């Protein structure tokens, strides 16, 4: 823009504007390509997701959980809005009013409200929740609901088209599309069972618990998390496969919890140094057995400490996380093949998955000073995450000094500077100490504290 233009008088400006308007009015109108697309091309309608979405979107709901934790586990931190979290859910049984969502959306919630596409808002009740798979089942009033059918997610292939439906940022129902980028993704978080579908369909905070559907409008996954350096979508979204979500839902409805199986062994990832110490080739992959539980399926099948597990049911096992996933997702009672390397030769054993034991000990039966405190052993899943010790599962304050000072969730790791990791350790130590003062070493949250019991 030159100086003469800057110095133009108001009357000159008006003349120029009128001339421009005249030119614009007289010029031929060129239609915008996007707005002017015809409804058909060569007699065929343009491809559109609209018909499929018209039948699927009424099955996807928005969820507001009050008094819950934020959904940081799935989508990164959001501002703490008076302990309110928003997410999404999927109606999977219209007759019963069952809604699938993520555990982290409703974790700790005191009040849950579910908003339907038709504008209704209904109260919801948590029927069951499983933090290890991040699945929760809600129930709403089964009145004029529309359910989404569950597809067989084992038939998914990389490259299949998928659509994500949810409530991003609490803005209301939104849709994005993409493809299946990868399958069986794991090691994306520190805990839980991980067998994710990866997609480049845009997923953002608030999509937690929403639907990932195929082009037939069937549910193939429950959107649960994104991988991002910024907190927003960068094309790395992850969903829980519908087969896993459906299995967890059935167990939660039948038992109130997920009945998980176990092989009954602890393992360690193989690295070059450990491979050299145990006599395996430097290029060997697998997990080394470090401990086997008494009477466990692995012991009955003849598995030994220092064995190298390289496959489960023919599927290669390279890390403890892979074994953890495979073991925890197998149904109780299923027979499996474990491929091992021992003393330079490869072998295969067959064993049956058994339910994980949930033995609890009322410590007051061993020592009156611990009356009102209940302990349980860490699960194999918890131990593989680097945790060890005895978990305080219940306390009854007032029954003893210990019961008044301990909390549910504390972890006992030692007494009088001696480690405790099994209930048998606790029994033996209390019998050995026989009434002597106890100095208990415990973990609470991220800190260690001591409790003296006289």
Establish whether 255 is a catalytic residue: no
The number of beta carbons lying within 10 Å of the beta carbon of residue 285 is 15
Task: Report, in this order, helix, strand and coil percent for the chain, each rounded to 5.
Answer: 25, 35, 40
| Tokens 């994306």, residue located | 188
Neighbour tally for 401: CB within 10 Å: 17
Which candidate, 312, 309, 253, places its Cα nearest to that of 284? 309
CA dist., res. 227 & res. 240, Å (int): 14
Active-site residue among 134, 266, 367, 425?
134
Q: Is 120 exposed, middle or buried (0-12, 13-18, 19+ CB in 10 A)?
A: middle
The three-state secondary structure class of 363 is: helix
Active site residue 362: no
Q: Which of 62, 104, 174, 266 is catalytic?
A: 104
Angle of CA points 393, 398, 400, to nearest 5°? 75
Beta bridge partners of 341: 308, 346
What are the C-alpha distances in Å from 224 to residues 77, 133, 140, 186? 14, 10, 21, 13
Which position among 208, 242, 320, 400 bears the catalytic label?
208
> Which residues, 6 or more positions from 168, have their beta carbon under 8 angstroms from its beta carbon?
174, 203, 204, 205, 206, 207
Q: Are 363 and 440 in contact (CB under 8 A)?
A: no
Cα dist. 375→267, 290, 315, 367 in Å?
24, 24, 36, 13
CA distances to 44, 56, 156, 292, 339 from 175, in Å: 25, 11, 20, 48, 44
Residues 289 and 307 sit within 8 Å (Cβ to Cβ): yes
d(CA 416, CA 433): 9
CA–CA dist 399, 403 (Å, integer):
6
- CA-to-CA distance for 262 and 333, rounded, in angstroms? 10
Rounded Cα distance between 201 and 233, Å, is 9
Catalytic residue check, 208 = yes
Give catalytic residue positions: 104, 134, 208
């Amino acid at each position: 823009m030159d100086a003469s233009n800057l110095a133009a008088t108001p009357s000159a400006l008006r003349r120029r504007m009128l001339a421009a308007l005249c030119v614009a009015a007289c010029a031929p109108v060129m239609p915008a390509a996007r707005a002017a697309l015809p409804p058909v091309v060569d007699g065929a309608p343009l491809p559109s997701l609209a018909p499929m979405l018209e039948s699927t979107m009424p099955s996807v709901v928005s969820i507001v959980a009050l008094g819950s934790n934020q959904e940081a586990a799935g989508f990164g931190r959001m501002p703490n809005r008076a302990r309110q979290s928003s997410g999404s859910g999927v109606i999977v049984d219209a007759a019963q009013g069952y809604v699938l969502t993520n555990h982290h959306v409703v974790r700790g919630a005191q009040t849950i409200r579910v908003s339907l596409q038709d504008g209704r808002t209904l109260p919801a009740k948590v029927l069951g929740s499983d933090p290890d798979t991040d699945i929760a089942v809600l129930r709403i009033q089964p009145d004029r609901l529309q359910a989404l059918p569950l597809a067989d997610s084992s038939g998914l292939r990389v490259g299949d088209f998928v659509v994500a439906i949810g409530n991003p940022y609490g803005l209301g129902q939104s849709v994005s599309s993409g493809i299946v980028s990868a399958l069986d993704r794991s090691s994306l978080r520190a805990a839980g069972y991980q067998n994710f579908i990866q997609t480049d369909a845009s997923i953002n905070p608030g999509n937690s618990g929403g639907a990932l559907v195929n082009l037939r409008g069937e549910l193939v996954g429950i959107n649960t998390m994104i991988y991002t350096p910024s907190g927003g979508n960068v094309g790395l979204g992850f969903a829980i496969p519908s087969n896993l979500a459906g299995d967890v839902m059935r167990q939660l409805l039948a038992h109130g919890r997920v009945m998980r199986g176990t092989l009954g062994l602890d393992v360690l990832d193989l690295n070059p140094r450990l491979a050299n110490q145990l006599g395996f080739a430097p290029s060997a992959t697998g997990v080394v057995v470090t401990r086997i539980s008494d009477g466990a399926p692995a012991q009955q099948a003849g598995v030994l400490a220092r064995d190298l597990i390289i496959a489960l049911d023919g599927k290669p096992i390279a890390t403890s996380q892979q074994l953890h996933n495979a073991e925890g997702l197998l149904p109780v009672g299923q027979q499996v093949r474990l491929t091992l390397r021992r003393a330079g030769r490869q072998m295969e054993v067959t064993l049956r998955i058994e339910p994980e034991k949930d033995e609890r000990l009322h410590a007051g039966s061993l020592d009156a000073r611990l009356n009102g405190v209940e302990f349980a052993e860490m699960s194999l899943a918890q131990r593989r995450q680097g945790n060890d010790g005895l978990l305080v599962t219940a306390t009854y304050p007032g029954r003893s000094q210990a019961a008044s000072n301990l909390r549910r969730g504390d972890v006992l790791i030692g007494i009088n500077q001696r480690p405790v990791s099994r209930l048998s350790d606790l029994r033996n130590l209390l019998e050995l100490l026989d009434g002597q003062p106890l100095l208990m070493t415990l973990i609470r949250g991220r800190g260690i504290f001591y409790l003296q019991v006289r």
